[in-house]
Structure 1
Amino acid sequence: MGSIQRPREVDVLIIGGGFGGFSQWKRIKDLNIGLTVKIYEKAPESGGIWYWNCYPGARVDSDFPAYQLFDKELWSTFTFSERFPGGPELREYFKHVEKTWNITPDIEYNKTVTGAAWISTQHFWKVLCEDGTVTYCKWLLSCLGLGSTTNMPSFPGMEKFKGEVFHTARWPQGGVGLKGKRVAVVGTGASGVQVIQEIGDEVDHLTIYQRTPNLCMPMSQRKLYPQEEEVKKKMGKYENSFDTCRVSFAGNEDYAILRSGMDDTPEQRKELFDRLWVYGGFTFWQGSYYDLLTNLETNNEVYKYWRSRVLERIKDPKKQELLAPEKAPHPWGTKRPSLEQRYYEVVDQDHIDIIDISASPIVSFGERGLITKEEGEVPVDIIILATGFDSTLSISALNIVGIDGETIQDHWRNGPRSSMGIAIPGFPNLFYLYGTQAPSAFSNGPSLNQLQAEWVAETIKACEKEGVTSFEARKEMEDQWIELLQSEWSKTLFTKAKSWYNGSNIPGKKVEGKFWIGGIPTYMEWLKKSNENDHQGWIKQKRVLKM
């Protein structure tokens, strides 16, 4: 590629204008060491996933007030209206952040990064964009998160279908007219559950294509009243909540019960389960017994209780077995359970059918609808693909070329490999937030993004102070992290389930633990230790200028 004579255009380039990108921008700016920063966002607005998540019923599933940035300047002047805010309100929140922090001069919208190459002679990144522009930067920070690469299934005959097909991750910004239509929904993950309970009452007929039942928990949604929230703010309750988010396992206010479920009597277990169930949110999952996800006996007790509560809400015997089967399809909680508001009541209606595609697989698309092995072709007007994301791609979906011409795709040919889910050997001065091999899948997004962004900013500050121009993860640290991650994963019941947690939602993907299962505190301790003793986990170099 030759020597680059021109100076770099920006010190720090951030890809993505969501929680990660905004958190990282703020932490870099707050260093006050003169670094120039730019954010490139491919959407026409900020919000990251909350720009694209505009399908019916889209809303956050992390409990209030954890799902926001912890900056007092922001939360003191913005109050959400619901315990679990919806997509439109999240968009308004991002506008508030952008205005309050004055991010506008440093962000470019409709700017899609397609690739980057490390210039070893200059210790710069050359970044390419879809519009043909080139940017040179010293530090390249990917804040694409887990939901940047759509999992678009490839069914035979998709081109034959005469109706309309939409993916929840790329829903038209202007919406879709569904009232009175015959609709099919493929997938019952988080987006599928949200869509189904939202549109079930307005469509003429709904056919749900379900491979595995979603073992949903009650959201227990409620309105937030501004006057009450202002009192909480003045009393310091928001700040206390955010302090807890920084040190808890999942970056929220839930703590596991520090005893085994089998140490309690049946009556004691029921009392606990009743309390957690009524409270709602992820507390039934994350605030239960500590051995819920390691002890099959405890897990079975949770499933029995869960099933009893769900069966109370479904009258149709066939749907009871499809939605809450007598035998658990997998250990409870080892596939991400969704939060629902009235999912089971909606699905129980006569004009809604469920096709079990584990027993009757989808063979192909037909002109009128999907064709399954047993039911044949079911005529519909609209097909909604609620098939989620390939959560292990994100940064590797970009054509990023590191030292010696290796791409991240090359480095990950046998599965993701990284140093602590934040950097990759052979790719200096490149960090990624809220991605694979970090605790991302088991964390409240804003919490982990902010903690990682703080670490990245402090690391960059140390390098700038020392005159370090190339900062690269050591291969030994990567090997150690992979071994530890898989060891911790093997101790859990997650190994007994097929999910996006281990890549089994993508055909051909290597099935293994894709995320750190040990919680945020242990993860942040590893990051901290890697920077001790003169950054023992990293290779540091200073560019030598030739005369």
Structure 2
Amino acid sequence: MSSAQQNHPQAGTDATESFDAVVVGAGFAGLYALHKLRDEMGLSARVYEAGGGIGGTWYWNRYPGARSDTSSWIYCYSFDEELLQEWQWSERYPQQQEVLNYLEHVAERFDLNRDIQLQTRVTSAIFDEETERWEVRTDTGDVVSARFVIAALGALSAANLPDVPGLESFAGDRYHTAEWPHEGVDFTGKKVGLIGTGATGIQVATEIAEEAEHLTVFQRTPNYAVPLGNHPLDAELRREYKENYDEIWEQVRHNFSGHDYEPIGKTLQEAAPEERERAFQERYDRGGFGLWLANYDDLLENREANAVVSEWVRERIRERVRDPETAEKLTPSDHAFGTKRVPLENGYYEIFNRDNVGLVDVKKTPIEEITATGVRTQDGEYEFDALVFATGFDAMTGPYNKIDIRGRGGRLLRDKWAEGPRTYLGIMSAGFPNMFAITGPQSPSVLTNMPVAIEQHVEWISGIVRHMLDNGLDVVEPTLDAEDEWVDHSQEVAHATLLPESATWYMGANIPGKPQVFLPYLGGLGPYREKCDEVAKNAYEGFAFANREETRA
């Protein structure tokens, strides 16, 4: 019997089972949390996963072209040396199925599946102030008690389907990229409408164009997409990164982005025009995020410097699209390069040179309604056999808002966050004791290589839990002062850059009515790690601990 069960055998009046921890979600975050809590700390834990299998993002997002945009050799766990050495990646940027295979291998290797309950969505988590435990309910009727709740929900897991008039009237097939049929979709001989041209839309458009009779892409905002630069991994490259993993992980754990990229180390103004051209071209030709994350130091803070690289990328787009009118539609002009997430592409611009691909600018001719046969815009109706929505997610806060989470005094988390998320370190929110978020809002999360950020979070959370266990402490939550300071700091860091000026999902701008605040933490993964380590070293400053006796007194 666990320590929590020994101390509170009657916790949760309706609970049928009691655990030290309930973990919500079985993606990268949930799997590592389970391993850490159960296998390394000896705690009882149950993972609830809404999907029919583990994998999180990589279980749900099976659309054509879905693949990681992080180098495979660092898009993985680093906590186990044997796992690092034994797994063989096939490509620089692995496809969805390969990442899913990896996560399934991890679950088997560490015997995680026995404590994961699939096809079970958590509907509520309510803190009981009498027992100081969480009552967790699911859509399958489970009612369990837990001392700790670990939200491994994923930042991009609440799919966003736009509220377009007539959506339900469409008589053809309709798909959202985040809820793709597991059996796949055959678009051969079909007329397809694709709505959305973010990172996912660009991936899926490139694939559908090869298969469909005709593809019409509905674009609201053009993006600065740059080449993916994918390639198979040969034996020599595998040997090289496996032999140098210590140095690689030291780099990605402590640099700004958690990727194997480093900035140039000087400002754009310090470089001659020929040097800039060479630097841009080298990064563009190599592919990946280099042009974004390994460029001149001031590109995301200095408007004049950014204008240089923005125009350089625009020229590359114009070079690749034959029709000047179409090229102009695909060329961004309303935001600065890198202030939106930079999509990686593999032949995306060239699909618009094909006879079977059309482009509709919905800023100039907005979509008025979905009809039984297709899409009506201000300039007429387009008929389709299938519609694909690549319209993204209610990012970062959306997954939390979908669950009835109630803390002290029965306060709803979504009510507390009504004007924007309020957290300390992106890990906890005051008034919601013993509830931890992995890569939650106001942590670096989506601005980093997620597995590296996830490992940092899980390890830090396990550290504070160990501190509680060792010191007989029952509950922990942030102080309001620490939370207020972190919220202010998070916004100040973001607003020192150009990023908040763009209407992005980083700002919640893709969801009507959502508060316009910068959601992730822009201070960088390395500095954020240092801050978290400093907090822990200073007896977890900014957190308030208590045991039951103190609380009752």
Q: Per the shorter chain, which TM-score range?
A: over 0.9
- Paired with 2:142 and 2:14, the residues of 1 have a C-alpha distance of 17
Give the aligned partner of residue 239 of structure 2.
Answer: 231
Asked if 1:270 is matched to 2:274, the reply is no
Answer whether contact 1:192 1:386 (CA < 8 A) is retained.
Answer: yes
Q: CA deviation at 1:238?
A: 2.6
Which of 506, 512, 519 is 1:501 aligned to? Answer: 506
Alignment of 1:47-86 (within 5 A): 47-70=55-78, 71-86=80-95
Q: CA deviation at 1:109?
A: 1.3
Question: Could you report, residue by residue, the CA deviation over 1:118-137 in whole angstroms, capped at 9, with x for unpaired residues?
Answer: 11111111100111111111
Answer whether contact 1:76 1:233 (CA < 8 A) is retained.
Answer: no
- Paired with 1:233 and 1:321, the residues of 2 have a C-alpha distance of 41
Structure 2: which amino acid aligns with 1:20? A
Q: Equivalent residue of 1:99, what SS?
A: helix
Question: Could you report, residue by residue, the CA deviation over 1:79-102 in whole angstroms, capped at 9, with x for unpaired residues?
Answer: 111100001111111111011112
Structure 2: which amino acid aligns with 1:407? L
With over 3 angstroms needed to count, the CA separation of the structure-2 counterparts of 1:179 and 1:123, relative to structure 1, is same
Give the aligned partner of residue 304 of structure 1.
Answer: 311
Give the aligned partner of residue 356 of structure 1.
Answer: 361
With over 3 angstroms needed to count, the CA separation of the structure-2 counterparts of 1:357 and 1:230, relative to structure 1, is closer
Which of 169, 185, 198 is 2:178 aligned to? Answer: 169
- Paired with 2:492 and 2:358, the residues of 1 have a C-alpha distance of 42
TM-score normalised by length of structure 1: 0.96
- Paired with 1:41 and 1:459, the residues of 2 have a C-alpha distance of 25
Alignment of 1:205-220 (within 5 A): 205-220=214-229
Which of 300, 323, 327 is 1:316 aligned to? Answer: 323
Q: CA deviation at 1:531?
A: 3.0
Structure 2: which amino acid aligns with 1:453? V
- Paired with 1:59 and 1:429, the residues of 2 have a C-alpha distance of 35
Asked if 1:186 is matched to 2:190, the reply is no
With over 3 angstroms needed to count, the CA separation of the structure-2 counterparts of 1:5 and 1:508, relative to structure 1, is closer
Structure 2: which amino acid aligns with 1:314? V
Asked if 1:528 is matched to 2:552, the reply is no
With over 3 angstroms needed to count, the CA separation of the structure-2 counterparts of 1:336 and 1:230, relative to structure 1, is closer
Which of 360, 371, 376 is 1:366 aligned to? Answer: 371
Structure 1: which amino acid aligns with 2:292? W
Structure 1: which amino acid aligns with 2:81? K
Give the aligned partner of residue 406 of structure 1.
Answer: 411
Give the aligned partner of residue 202 of structure 1.
Answer: 211
Give the aligned partner of residue 426 of structure 1.
Answer: 431
Q: CA deviation at 1:465?
A: 0.6
Deviates more, 1:525-534 or 1:276-285: 525-534
Question: Could you report, residue by residue, the CA deviation over 1:481-525 in whole angstroms, capped at 9, with x for unpaired residues?
Answer: 111111111111112211101111111111121111110122122
Q: CA deviation at 1:376?
A: 1.3
- Paired with 1:188 and 1:490, the residues of 2 have a C-alpha distance of 26
- Paired with 1:540 and 1:339, the residues of 2 have a C-alpha distance of 45
- Paired with 1:469 and 1:10, the residues of 2 have a C-alpha distance of 14
Structure 2: gaps (5+ residues): 1-9
Answer whether contact 2:15 2:135 (CA < 8 A) is retained.
Answer: no
Q: Equivalent residue of 1:353, what SS?
A: strand
Alignment of 1:437-452 (within 5 A): 437-452=442-457
Answer whether contact 1:256 1:286 (CA < 8 A) is retained.
Answer: yes
- Paired with 1:475 and 1:376, the residues of 2 have a C-alpha distance of 54
Give the aligned partner of residue 393 of structure 2.
Answer: 389
Q: CA deviation at 1:533?
A: 3.5
Give the aligned partner of residue 7 of structure 2.
Answer: none
Deviates more, 1:47-56 or 1:72-81: 72-81
Q: CA deviation at 1:348?
A: 2.2
Give the aligned partner of residue 166 of structure 2.
Answer: 157
Q: CA deviation at 1:63?
A: 1.9
- Paired with 1:258 and 1:288, the residues of 2 have a C-alpha distance of 8
Q: CA deviation at 1:6?
A: 7.7
Question: Could you report, residue by residue, the CA deviation over 1:176-206 in whole angstroms, capped at 9, with x for unpaired residues?
Answer: 2211100000000111001100110211111
Answer whether contact 2:367 2:377 (CA < 8 A) is retained.
Answer: yes
- Paired with 2:15 and 2:318, the residues of 1 have a C-alpha distance of 68
Structure 2: which amino acid aligns with 1:430? M
- Paired with 1:45 and 1:215, the residues of 2 have a C-alpha distance of 34
Q: CA deviation at 1:150?
A: 0.7
Q: CA deviation at 1:5?
A: 9.7
Give the aligned partner of residue 5 of structure 2.
Answer: none
Give the aligned partner of residue 152 of structure 2.
Answer: 143
Asked if 1:339 is matched to 2:344, the reply is yes
With over 3 angstroms needed to count, the CA separation of the structure-2 counterparts of 1:177 and 1:404, relative to structure 1, is same
Q: CA deviation at 1:3?
A: 7.0
Give the aligned partner of residue 478 of structure 2.
Answer: 473
Structure 2: which amino acid aligns with 1:250? S
- Paired with 1:6 and 1:214, the residues of 2 have a C-alpha distance of 49
Structure 2: which amino acid aligns with 1:194? Q
Which of 483, 490, 497 is 1:485 aligned to? Answer: 490
Q: Number of aligned pairs?
A: 541
Q: CA deviation at 1:530?
A: 2.9
Structure 1: which amino acid aligns with 2:53? E
- Paired with 2:16 and 2:364, the residues of 1 have a C-alpha distance of 61
With over 3 angstroms needed to count, the CA separation of the structure-2 counterparts of 1:7 and 1:471, relative to structure 1, is farther
